[in-house]
């Protein structure tokens, strides 16, 4: 069993640096869970991102509760969720008390801008990894054409019709299942 305080510390780090929207947390989780601690495999991590999309609620809270629960049951889930919420909460309270006095803080807005650039690059990097594992599941020799086709179609549908991503993803799952049943 992984000690609960270790889970808490990992999620403090994840929560403290997740700038730039809900998806900013994904690269941080990958680093903490897969690379640094080896608590999850990359495949499990990819599953997690899919599950996040299926379930309501903020992605950050969903994934931390899920991981905490998997690693150490309910205490783990509590530790992970608190860990990922506390840094943001402290910053929020600090900012709101500063705001009541100064209204505008140029350093903060500059920090946010730069961190957003950083997280765009990080998300892109994780995306590349996920793409490779979806399209080339067994190395570069064998290409999974179905995955590639699903991906391109989904992207087109998302862009063109601004569909709710949830439906697109469910569609992908269904098509994959259907083709499996037909070709079996």
- Closer Cβ to other proteins, 7 or 122, answer by number: 122
Q: Least distance in Å: CB of 91 to other proteins?
A: 5
- Closer Cβ to other proteins, 5 or 164, answer by number: 164
- Closer Cβ to other proteins, 5 or 156, answer by number: 156
**Closest among 139, 124, 8, 127 to 64, alpha carbons compared:** 8
Q: Least distance in Å: CB of 141 to other proteins?
A: 19
- Closer Cβ to other proteins, 5 or 91, answer by number: 91
For the chain, report the end-to-end CA distance as a whole number of angstroms. Answer: 40
Distance CA 125, CA 144 (A): 21
Q: Least distance in Å: CB of 18 to other proteins?
A: 5
Distance CA 151, CA 101 (A): 49
Q: Least distance in Å: CB of 132 to other proteins?
A: 10
**Closest among 36, 24, 32, 33 to 121, alpha carbons compared:** 24
List of residues 6+ apart from 50 with CB closer than 8 A: 169
């Amino acid at each position: 069993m992984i000690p609960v305080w270790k889970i808490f510390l990992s999620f403090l780090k994840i929560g403290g640096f997740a700038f730039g929207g809900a998806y900013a947390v994904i690269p941080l989780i990958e680093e903490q869970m897969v690379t640094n601690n080896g608590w999850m495999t990359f495949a499990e991590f990819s599953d997690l991102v899919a599950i996040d999309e299926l379930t309501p609620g903020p992605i950050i809270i969903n994934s931390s509760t899920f991981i905490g629960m998997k690693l150490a049951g309910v205490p783990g889930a509590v530790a992970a969720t608190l860990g990922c919420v506390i840094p943001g909460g402290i910053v929020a309270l600090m900012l709101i008390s500063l705001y009541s006095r100064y209204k505008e803080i140029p350093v903060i807005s500059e920090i946010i801008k730069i961190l957003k650039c950083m997280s765009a690059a990080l998300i892109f990097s994780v995306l590349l990894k996920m793409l490779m594992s979806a399209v080339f599941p067994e190395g570069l020799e064998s290409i999974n054409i179905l995955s590639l086709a699903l991906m391109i179609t989904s992207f087109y549908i998302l862009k063109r019709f601004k569909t709710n991503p949830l439906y697109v993803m469910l569609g992908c799952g269904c098509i994959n299942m259907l083709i499996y049943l037909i070709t079996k």
